[in-house]
């Protein structure tokens, strides 16, 4: 009996890929993960690729290989969800795993006939590394390629650091690997990374044509392959430029600098020796705190995106919105809504505030035009979708209203009660507040189930986080609607429960109170700032108070710390309140902990203020005290860890990942640590509890939460092995 034609054509088939025989002795390796919309190089795919190569090497009469994808993208890269577990392997096992994966790619590169990759869509990380094993690369105009590994704290580990410089030159390789950016098809062609760019409908035919030409002309592909196996020339200047670019990542992110040295060291080696060095470097970097944290951040981001997509299914559509309260904040909210396609009314009771909001939106749009992100025409369309008004005209046509007036509970209650009477009964009402109780604000409303908090961080266009605050009577649909609207604005929403300071400012207040206690105990605020900036914070706590403004900061500290007595109590006058009383309000008055002057470009320059230490001595009863940087860090960070743990235990946020992402996105928590709770895992609960006991004399701020004590007893963690 004759075999069916499809059985004769099929060389190997699995759940993630297949190999088929085409006309003219061509084999096609097609990635087509069953039941998924994208291809990823997880353990299952790599195992199947190894088996498919066995079958391919054993097949008769194959003269060429085309590598394709049946999905809209090519291969999106390695499965980062597996990284957290993989990175916990001992270094020797991790290196062996990477070397084994790299060997599979080497076997693909070494097939005894020419090969072409047809890149139809996104090919990132391992996806591009796989394409680099081919002798030729044909790419669709809509595709993007890149090596983003450095942004995850590692280097390409499947041969990317070895093949890319041999294909496109060391300057291109260093630029692509260090920047970690995705590149367009045109940019890839100009860089010499791909050979042919074509429109998507002709991709397959162009790739097959390229392959058949190579089959007929061994001189067209054999020299290319020999070049990928051999050493290459590398200039000292190129390496120095790479080192300069890598330094921008800072000391806590070693991957970029390691990539430069790896490529420089491997240049004089043949492929096998270079791959050995790559595996060594990959394994060492994968064991760093930065790699574990950055992989964890990626996983947390994906989890938040899933939650936002789920919310969209339950949300009420928002076709038009309104913001009450203009100025810088209201103008920023209106701009962000309009920019992302939702028309918005911007209302205020004062013309000056309304004018300021309009100017703020116009200024932000002008910046986008100058940077080429929008055209003049698009900017005018966006600006026209913001309707400034001094009255409530057309407010009855909106689906969602954001109240963003002054941070005063009485004023907010009055405004919310008035606007509720003017909007449709099924519209959602949200308050942008950083510290006031959503439950208390809702007492002025007839429909509290349609009310939630929506806390934007300042400046609105730059800060990605929005806290969506759920009060006891807020309905699930209201939360879903606010989450979906925040997502539509290009923000990352995190749902939190109502409590003083909500999530981010509550945890940050514990950190600031720790700073105030250090200053009270005589520690130099300049030394505190230096220690925390070296630790990875974008600015130290004293500098942060100057930026926020001492009057605002003092009010927030008092309101939030008052909700967590006695642990956040501060007996006597603290440094921020002292500064505010002295009129030293920070940058807005050009004097706070530091003195400020504007340079010729109008940027604030921080300078030493000679009289600050003298002023602070009035609230330092025990005089001046020196502490080592590591002791300062411990006293500053432990209260954050404890408060973050309490928030998780109390259900303020849904998960440890939500808490960590909120801190990373909301206050610039050092990314190389991944967030307060991932940082806690790196320290260990037992170590944290012991350190807190050593600091118990400082005050109740250092009292471990019940959950932390339990974790210390049972060797527990906030994150399991999956991230």
CA distance readout (Å), 577 to 176, 329, 458, 520, 636: 49, 25, 22, 12, 19
Q: Is 455 known to be catalytic?
A: yes
Q: How many CB atoms lie within 10 A of CB 484?
A: 24
The two tokens of residue 448 are 């509290």
- Distance between CA atoms of residues 666 and 659, nearest Å: 10
- Distance between CA atoms of residues 294 and 674, nearest Å: 6
Residues 6+ positions from 604 with CB-CB distance below 8 Å: 587, 596, 597, 598
- Distance between CA atoms of residues 316 and 401, nearest Å: 13
Q: How many helices (H) and strands (E) does the chain have?
A: 31, 20
CB 675 within 8 A of CB 298: no
Residues 6+ positions from 514 with CB-CB distance below 8 Å: 635, 636, 638, 639, 640, 701
- Distance between CA atoms of residues 447 and 461, nearest Å: 30
Q: Tokens 């079958």, residue?
A: 55
Strand, coil or helix: 236 = helix
DSSP symbol at 218 = G
Name the H helices within 156-235: 160-168, 170-179, 185-191, 203-216, 222-229
Torsion of CA 229, 234, 238, 240, to 10 degrees: 110
Say if strands 386-389 and 344-347 run parallel, antiparallel, or are unpaired. parallel
- Distance between CA atoms of residues 617 and 59, nearest Å: 83
Alpha carbon 623 to its chain centroid, in Å, reads: 42
**Sign of the torsion formed by the C-alpha atoms of 293, 298, 299 and 300:** positive
Q: Rounded to the nearest 5°, which phi and psi values hold at 475?
A: -80, 155
Compute the C-alpha angle 460/482/418, nearest 5°.
90
- Distance between CA atoms of residues 248 and 532, nearest Å: 18
CB 40 within 8 A of CB 302: no
The two tokens of residue 307 are 């939650």
Q: Rounded to the nearest 5°, which phi and psi values hold at 129?
A: -60, -40
- Distance between CA atoms of residues 416 and 428, nearest Å: 11
- Distance between CA atoms of residues 663 and 515, nearest Å: 18
CA distance readout (Å), 584 to 200, 594, 603: 62, 9, 19
Q: Tokens 């890929």, residue?
A: 17
- SS3 breakdown of the chain: % helix, strand, coil, rounded to 5? 55, 15, 30
**Residue of 312, 314, 348 whose CA lies nearest to 331:** 348
Residues 6+ positions from 551 with CB-CB distance below 8 Å: 580, 585
**Residue of 301, 673, 322 whose CA lies nearest to 494:** 301
Strand, coil or helix: 481 = helix
Q: Which of 455, 555, 613, 697 is catalytic?
A: 455
The two tokens of residue 594 are 């530091």
Element (H, E) at 510: helix 504-520
- Distance between CA atoms of residues 79 and 41, nearest Å: 6
Residues 6+ positions from 93 with CB-CB distance below 8 Å: none
- The set of catalytic residues is 455
């Amino acid at each position: 009996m004759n075999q069916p034609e499809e059985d004769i054509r099929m060389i190997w088939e699995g759940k993630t890929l297949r190999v088929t025989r085409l006309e003219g002795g061509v084999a096609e390796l097609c990635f087509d993960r069953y039941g998924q919309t994208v291809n990823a190089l997880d353990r299952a795919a790599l195992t199947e690729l190894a088996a498919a190569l066995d079958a391919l090497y054993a097949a008769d009469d194959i003269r060429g290989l085309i590598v394709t994808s049946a999905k809209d993208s090519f291969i999106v890269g390695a499965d980062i969800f597996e990284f957290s577990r993989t990175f916990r392997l001992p270094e020797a096992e991790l290196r062996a795993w990477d070397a084994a994966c790299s060997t599979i790619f080497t076997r693909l590169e070494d097939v005894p006939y020419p090969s072409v990759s047809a890149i139809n869509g996104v090919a990132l990380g391992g996806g591009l590394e796989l394409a680099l094993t081919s002798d030729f690369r044909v790419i669709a105009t809509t595709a993007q390629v890149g090596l983003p590994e450095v942004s995850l704290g590692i280097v390409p580990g499947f041969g990317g650091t070895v093949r890319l410089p041999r294909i496109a030159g060391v300057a291109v390789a260093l630029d692509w690997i260090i920047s970690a950016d995705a590149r367009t098809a045109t940019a890839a062609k100009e860089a010499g990374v791909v050979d042919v760019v074509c429109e998507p409908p002709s991709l397959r035919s162009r790739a097959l044509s390229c392959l058949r030409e190579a089959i007929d002309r061994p001189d067209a592909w054999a020299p290319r392959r020999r070049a990928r196996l051999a050493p290459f020339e590398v200039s000292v200047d190129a390496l120095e430029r790479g080192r300069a670019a890598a330094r921008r990542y800072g000391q806590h992110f070693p991957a970029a600098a390691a990539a430069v040295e790896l490529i420089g060291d491997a240049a004089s080696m043949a492929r096998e020796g270079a791959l050995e060095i790559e595996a060594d470097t990959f394994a060492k970097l994968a064991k760093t705190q930065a790699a574990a944290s950055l992989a964890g951040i990626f996983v947390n981001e994906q989890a938040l995106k899933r939650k936002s997509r789920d919310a969209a299914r339950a949300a009420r559509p928002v076709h038009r919105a309104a913001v009450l309260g203009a100025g810088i904040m209201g103008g920023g909210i209106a701009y962000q809504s309009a920019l992302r396609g939702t028309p918005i009314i911007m209302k205020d009771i004062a013309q000056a505030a309304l004018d300021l909001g309009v100017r703020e939106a116009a200024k932000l749009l002008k910046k986008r035009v100058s940077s080429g992100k929008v055209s003049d025409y698009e900017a005018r369309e966006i600006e026209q979708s913001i309707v400034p008004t001094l009255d409530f005209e057309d407010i009855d046509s909106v689906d969602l209203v954001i109240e963003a007036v002054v941070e005063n509970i009485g004023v907010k209650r009055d405004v919310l009660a008035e606007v509720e009477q003017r909007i449709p009964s099924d519209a959602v009402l949200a308050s942008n507040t950083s510290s006031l109780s959503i439950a208390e604000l809702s007492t002025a409303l007839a429909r509290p189930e349609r009310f939630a908090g929506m806390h934007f961080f300042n400046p609105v266009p730059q800060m990605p986080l929005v806290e969506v605050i759920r009060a006891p009577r807020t309905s699930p649909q209201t939360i879903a609607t606010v989450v979906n609207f925040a997502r539509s604005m290009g923000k990352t929403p995190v749902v939190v429960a109502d409590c003083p300071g909500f999530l981010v400012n509550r945890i940050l207040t514990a950190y600031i109170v720790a700073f105030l206690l250090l200053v009270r105990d005589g520690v130099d605020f300049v030394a505190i700032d230096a220690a925390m900036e070296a630790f990875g914070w974008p600015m130290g706590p004293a500098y942060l108070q100057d930026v926020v403004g001492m009057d605002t900061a003092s009010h927030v500290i008092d309101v939030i710390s008052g909700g967590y007595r006695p642990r956040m109590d501060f007996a006597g006058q603290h440094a921020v309140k002292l500064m505010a009383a002295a009129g030293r309000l920070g940058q807005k008055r050009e004097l706070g902990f530091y003195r400020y002057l504007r340079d010729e470009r109008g940027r604030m320059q921080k300078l030493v203020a000679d009289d600050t230490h003298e002023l602070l001595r009035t609230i330092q009863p025990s005089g001046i005290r020196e502490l080592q940087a590591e002791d300062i860090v411990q006293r500053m960070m432990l209260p954050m860890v404890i408060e973050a743990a309490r928030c998780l235990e109390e259900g303020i946020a849904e998960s440890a990942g939500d808490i960590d992402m909120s801190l990373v996105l909301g206050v610039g928590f050092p990314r190389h640590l991944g967030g307060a709770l991932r940082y806690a895992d790196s320290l260990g609960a037992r170590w944290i509890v012991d350190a807190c006991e050593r600091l118990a004399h400082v005050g109740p701020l250092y009292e471990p939460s019940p959950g932390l004590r339990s974790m210390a007893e049972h060797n527990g963690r906030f994150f399991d092995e999956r991230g």
